[in-house]
Amino acid sequence: MAGRQGMSECSSALTICPYLLICHDIFSTFAPPMQQYLDTSNSPPVTRLLARMIVNTRYEDLSPVTVKAAELALYDWVGCAMVSGQTEKAAKMARVAAAEGAQGGALVFADGKRTSPHWAAFANGASHAVELDDVHMASIIHGGIVICPTALSVAEQSRASGKKLIEGLVVGFDVAYRIGEAIAKTHYLMWHSTGTVATFGAAAAAAKIMGLDEDQTCWALGNAASQAAGIWEYLKFGDDTKLLHSGKAAMNGLLAASLAREGFTGSDTGIEGERGFLATMSGSSNPAAVNWDAMTRDLGKKFKVDENGYKLHACCRHGHVSIDNALRLIQQHGIRADQVKAVRVQMNRNSCDTLGDSDPVSPYKAKFSLAFFMATCFLHRKVGMEAFTDDRLRDPAMRAFMKKVSYLENPEYTRNYPRLWTASLEVELQDGQVLSTQGDLPYGDPATELPIPLFEQKALDMMGSVVGADRARGLLAAMQQLPEVGDVSRIFDGYPYR
Amino acid sequence: MAGRQGMSECSSALTICPYLLICHDIFSTFAPPMQQYLDTSNSPPVTRLLARMIVNTRYEDLSPVTVKAAELALYDWVGCAMVSGQTEKAAKMARVAAAEGAQGGALVFADGKRTSPHWAAFANGASHAVELDDVHMASIIHGGIVICPTALSVAEQSRASGKKLIEGLVVGFDVAYRIGEAIAKTHYLMWHSTGTVATFGAAAAAAKIMGLDEDQTCWALGNAASQAAGIWEYLKFGDDTKLLHSGKAAMNGLLAASLAREGFTGSDTGIEGERGFLATMSGSSNPAAVNWDAMTRDLGKKFKVDENGYKLHACCRHGHVSIDNALRLIQQHGIRADQVKAVRVQMNRNSCDTLGDSDPVSPYKAKFSLAFFMATCFLHRKVGMEAFTDDRLRDPAMRAFMKKVSYLENPEYTRNYPRLWTASLEVELQDGQVLSTQGDLPYGDPATELPIPLFEQKALDMMGSVVGADRARGLLAAMQQLPEVGDVSRIFDGYPYR
């Protein structure tokens, strides 16, 4: 903080408008209502503590588990980014980015162009479009679609090594998820935390890869706080805004770091200060609503990227345990669809209510149909994006199998929900044999063991649908040996290989 | 709204994460606390009403007063932008913008480069740096530093006419100031409204100049709502963040319009909806806290740019009426400094408290010293930026004159404040003659008659300090005949004329 002392003369409301003191009066007028806002007078200096962690984190000190977690986060996201890039929503964002004619070495997955890191981060934020990206359950943040575009674009621009990219990813996810866990849950009522909180993650990732010092990193976090945005109103009609939130969080976080690199200052109490991010956007006046400990516990020792959650199946999460159950049983026993007489599922009440449509009329509706999921498992042995088409919906074999599927609520499962998402499966074969299994949480949930081969397959499927199977295998291999990559901008050389 | 009906199947919390229904559960869990947020169930459809006004406003229907107001807003801002562009803070932002290497015809005043409208709007948002820009008192928004950069950059890029630029300015100021007047004053407690509310003004100006239709304009406003940001925490140390707020509001509003032009949708209830801007960022749960009428009263008939306020003097506003008084008296009576025996001022309590430093030790402190202001008036006959230097502070003539200045509170003035900022002035000459005058509000306040020649002089001084007096006169003349300009990108041809 040395060097800031000289500014203490400005440390009053006067500095709002040195030439227009009316603001001073406004604050006086409103002093009493300030009480309704979060009391942060005893907050720890988390902006600085997080900045210090960002600066001090070194690849050499990371555990192999964390390194692998960062790799998985990257290749899972790259698959999402490539497939999302084929959507019209992503194309709209890419067209705005391309119109800039900006110069740089950062790849936009939607059009294969190279541009400045800011516009690449923005356009690649569209990686949410197919909604198969990661999520951190404790903070309700989709980290990958914000942290990965920023980290990759900065790393590509600076021709950073794979190790440096890993450092950026690790601190980026860590900062985003820590703040997301810490902020009052009431934040999520009005704010889309992937747009708001994840901005800090993008700033952290960019600051790390740029090599900013501790003060600069504080400024980046402070100016991330002043750019955090994203409200839920778009949900009413499902507007494209959702992708703007991730794209802008990525770009805004990066901009905060780019400015800090130029010496542009920001508040080093931007997160915890009395008019900082938490006080302003917690939606609560109760200091206990903020979990300060979540921001500092094991800081620099344990990294939140280890807790990242992934989605293996391209449908509503309420069906994921049942799909895992079915695919596991099918594989273990080599079950063919024509052997099956009946499929009986037990789930919690919420899942029953959500997945009860036994006759979905559209691919979108099919994403909420247990019967459709089960038929897909037994007939196609995978519930990827390719499962939700009109052809599949009309397929007589699918329709016939869907009639074999039934479900009911298990009250015990309902009691355990949402801590557990338990579901059980009973398959009765034509020969009278009955096979059964059960699961508590979907594969991909951080509390379960990650079935790495399944994630590799997901990434290969997604990337392969855009660049072909051979290229996809090469890309996956590169990202799975990221510490050996000397210049990450080479990984996607030639993309999209047209 | 036709064409959106087909999306009604998505109009539930499900659309947050079709694949991850946990969000649905989160919203259920938090339903009761929602009550603490603003009730907007009876709100008028202001997003659409504002969009309709934006689309329907035509230069031909504007009053001469409004056209002149737009011209003044522009040339006053251009002066601020040029002088601010010479500061190191602006240079930092301009360096980040320049590093993009983006292509376009929009001018950055800090470095004279042409770039894309987005980066020009961002960099020119630094026009707040010398704090001599406009303000709208009723909404507490500095409109010019957000609306003007956006409107000018889009107009330059599209080689729009002066009339089109005027249309953009008029609707931009109107939307920003209307929403600013409407939102609960509690907003300002935590949010810097120039960063938040003015985003809508930038979106409106850009949408108008781009020629977006009503639906697209709604989308632009909706996606402005999802980008509005800017918190006060930076005040603690007076960080550079303040300029980020105006720069990003300008860029964000423009981005919302650029996306809308590509068909990227946003909420057409983004301002008034139950999770819209006002509900989320009003800081109040009382529906009466929002002045809905302010958004719709005389919409499309009277324009808020007419109410813009300006600053003639480069110091604290509490001294402005006294400075106006002194300069008026000096001019009327041809008073020379050596004729003056004593200067006695009466002001409200707040002004006395703020301006009492009779021995300022730095140029910054001098901006809050009535004695310094009066000495400057009598010795230099202008209180511009050039007044606040170490040389002036050390000048024996200044120091000697400052000793002649006294002040006291007038309780009646205190009672009328802040409705009026009354101050009176009594000048006792060496020959015993006593001259006096009084004013209620500073020149530049929209309630006073605008002394146009003084504003012309201010603009000439500011622009002239960067481009020389001759160029400044040419530029001012062009902006004062803006309706005659066929291609606004030509106005600054060759800037900065090195």
Chain B neighbors of A283, CB-CB under 8 A = 33, 36-37
pLDDT at A19: 42
Q: Does B178 touch chain A (CB under 8 A)?
A: no
Name the residue among B131, B239, B280 with its Cβ closest to that of A267. Answer: B239
By the 10 Å C-beta count (0-12 exposed, 13-18 middle, 19+ buried), B391 is classed as exposed
Q: Does A361 touch chain B (CB under 8 A)?
A: no
Q: What is the mean pLDDT of residues B53-80?
A: 98
Q: Does B190 touch chain A (CB under 8 A)?
A: yes
CB contact under 8 A, A190 and B37: yes
Domain with CATH 3.30.1330.120 in chain B: 317-439
What span, in angstroms and rounded, lies between the C-alpha atoms of A197 and A178? 9
Q: What is the CATH number of domain A42-307?
A: 1.10.4100.10
What span, in angstroms and rounded, lies between the C-alpha atoms of A138 and A182? 10
- Strands B340-347 vs B114-115: parallel, antiparallel or unpaired: unpaired
CB contact under 8 A, A259 and B191: no
Name the residue among B276, B350, B367 with its Cβ closest to that of A233. Answer: B276
Element (DSSP H or E) covering residue B423: strand B423-429
Cβ proximity of A95 and A478 under 8 Å: no
What span, in angstroms and rounded, lies between the C-alpha atoms of B316 and A15? 11
Residue of B nearest to A92 (CA): B262
Q: Which of A136, A241, A311 to mutate to test the interface with B (most CBs of B within 10 A)?
A: A241
Beta bridge partners of A424: A346, A438
Q: What is the mean pLDDT of residues B230-258?
A: 95
Distance from CA of A36 to the nearest CA of B (A): 9
Name the residue among B116, B140, B222 with its Cβ closest to that of A239. Answer: B222
Q: Does B270 touch chain A (CB under 8 A)?
A: yes
Residue A374: how many CA atoms within 13 Å on its side-chain side? 31
Name the residue among B14, B236, B283 with its Cβ closest to that of A267. Answer: B236
pLDDT at B238: 86
What span, in angstroms and rounded, lies between the C-alpha atoms of A275 and A281? 10
Q: Largest Cα–Cα distance of chain B, in whole Å?
A: 88
> Phi then psi for A426, rounded to 5 degrees?
-125, 125
Q: Does A234 touch chain B (CB under 8 A)?
A: yes
Residue of B nearest to A258 (CA): B96
Both structure tokens of A209: 């890869």
Both structure tokens of A253: 């976080």
Cα A108 to its chain centre, rounded Å, is 18
pLDDT at A45: 97
Q: Does B105 touch chain A (CB under 8 A)?
A: no
What span, in angstroms and rounded, lies between the C-alpha atoms of A95 and A476? 28
Q: Of A260-274, B13-27, B29-43, which one has max mean pLDDT?
A: A260-274
CB contact under 8 A, B277 and A318: no
Cβ neighbours around B389 below 10 Å, total: 12
CB contact under 8 A, B22 and A140: yes
Chain B neighbors of A246, CB-CB under 8 A = none
Residue A191 is given by DSSP the state B
No. of helices (H) and no. of strands (E), chain A: 22, 6
Lowest-pLDDT range of A333-347, B201-215, B363-377, B442-456:
B442-456
Q: Does A26 touch chain B (CB under 8 A)?
A: yes
Name the 3-class secondary structure at A443.
strand
R_g (Cα) of chain A, nearest Å: 24
Lowest-pLDDT range of A103-107, B64-68, B131-135, B333-337:
B131-135
pLDDT band per the 50, 70, 90 thresholds, residue B237? confident
Q: Does B414 touch chain A (CB under 8 A)?
A: no
Distance from CA of A461 to the nearest CA of B (A): 18
Name the residue among A104, A191, A222 with its Cβ closest to that of B234. Answer: A222
Q: How many residues does chain B have?
A: 498
According to CATH, the topology of domain B38-307 is 2-methylcitrate dehydratase PrpD (1.10.4100)
Q: Which of B231, B262, B286 to mutate to test the interface with A (most CBs of A within 10 A)?
A: B231
ipTM: 0.92
Strand segments, DSSP code E, in B40-161 are 106-107, 114-115
Round to the nearest angstrom and report the end-to-end CA distance of chain B.
52
Cβ proximity of B248 and B206 under 8 Å: no
pLDDT at B116: 98
Cβ neighbours around B421 below 10 Å, total: 24
Q: Which of B15, B28, B216, B241 to mutate to test the interface with A (most CBs of A within 10 A)?
A: B241
Q: Does B98 touch chain A (CB under 8 A)?
A: no
Tokens 């948002």 label which residue?
B125
CB contact under 8 A, A316 and B269: no
pLDDT at A36: 67
- Sign of the Cα torsion B59, B64, B68, B73 reads negative
Cβ neighbours around B401 below 10 Å, total: 22
Distance from CA of B116 to the nearest CA of A (A): 6
Tens-of-pLDDT digits for all 498 residues of chain A? 333 333 333 333 333 444 444 444 444 444 444 446 788 988 999 999 999 999 999 999 999 999 999 999 999 999 999 999 999 999 999 999 999 999 999 999 999 999 999 999 999 999 999 989 999 989 999 999 999 999 999 999 999 999 999 999 999 999 999 999 999 988 998 999 999 999 999 999 999 999 999 999 999 999 999 999 999 999 888 899 999 999 999 999 999 999 999 999 999 999 999 999 999 999 888 888 999 999 999 999 999 999 999 999 999 989 999 999 999 999 999 999 999 999 999 999 999 999 999 999 999 899 999 999 999 999 999 999 889 999 999 999 999 999 999 999 999 999 999 899 999 999 999 999 999 999 999 999 988 888 899 899 999 999 999 999 999 999 999 999 999 999 999 999 999 987
- Strands B114-115 vs B405-409: parallel, antiparallel or unpaired: unpaired
CB contact under 8 A, B10 and A225: no
Chain A neighbors of B354, CB-CB under 8 A = 21, 24
What span, in angstroms and rounded, lies between the C-alpha atoms of A214 and A254? 16
CB contact under 8 A, A316 and B18: yes
What span, in angstroms and rounded, lies between the C-alpha atoms of A101 and B101? 8
Residue B22: how many CA atoms within 13 Å on its side-chain side? 22
Q: What is the mean pLDDT of residues B147-163?
A: 98
Q: Does B285 touch chain A (CB under 8 A)?
A: no
DSSP annotation string for B329-392 = HHHHHT--GGGEEEEEEEE-HHHHHHHB-SS--SHHHHTTBHHHHHHHHHHHS--SGGGSSHHH
Mean pLDDT, chain B, whole residue set: 92
Domain A317-439: which CATH number of 3.30.1330.120, 3.40.190.10, 3.60.20.10, 3.40.800.10: 3.30.1330.120
What span, in angstroms and rounded, lies between the C-alpha atoms of B202 and B194? 11
pLDDT band per the 50, 70, 90 thresholds, residue B32? very low
- Sign of the Cα torsion A16, A22, A23, A25 reads positive
> Phi then psi for A353, rounded to 5 degrees?
-60, -35
Task: Pick left, alpha or beta for residue A497 (phi over 0 → left; psi -120 to 50 → alpha; otherwise beta).
Answer: left
Both structure tokens of A58: 């070194």
Cβ neighbours around B451 below 10 Å, total: 16
CA distances from A25 to A11, A37, A132, B140, B421 (A): 16, 19, 50, 12, 13
Inter-chain Cβ pairs, chain A and chain B, closer than 8 A: 338
Q: What is the mean pLDDT of residues B298-323?
A: 96
Chain B neighbors of A100, CB-CB under 8 A = 100, 102-104, 116, 118-119
What span, in angstroms and rounded, lies between the C-alpha atoms of B156 and B487? 8
Q: What is the mean pLDDT of residues B316-334?
A: 96
Name the residue among A7, A19, A354 with its Cβ closest to that of B311. Answer: A19
Domain with CATH 1.10.4100.10 in chain A: 42-307
Buried b (16+ CB within 10 A) or exposed e, B288-311: ebbebebbbeebbeebbbbbbbbb
CB contact under 8 A, A258 and B101: no
pLDDT at A385: 87
CB contact under 8 A, B119 and A100: yes
